[in-house]
Structure 1
Amino acid sequence: MLSIVSAVLFFIAFLITAADISTNDTFTSTNVMLLGLTVLALHLAGVGSGWSVRSRRR
Structure 2
Amino acid sequence: MLGIVAAVLFFVAFLINAAEIGTNDTFSSGNVMLLGLTLLALHVAGIGTSWHSRRRR
Pairwise same-fold verdict (TM > 0.5): yes
In structure 2, the gaps of 5 or more residues are none
Identity across matched positions, percent? 72
For the pair 1:51 / 2:51, whether they are aligned, the reply is: yes
Q: Which has the larger radius of gyration?
A: 1
Aligned to 1:15: 15
In structure 1, the gaps of 5 or more residues are none
Aligned to 1:30: 30
Which consecutive segments of 4 or more residues in structure 1 shift more than 6 A?
Answer: none
Q: Distance in 2 between matches of 1:7 and 1:51?
A: 22
Q: TM-score of the superposition, structure 1-length normalised?
A: 0.87
CA RMSD in angstroms comes to 1.0
Residue correspondences, number: 57
Give SS of 1:22's match: coil
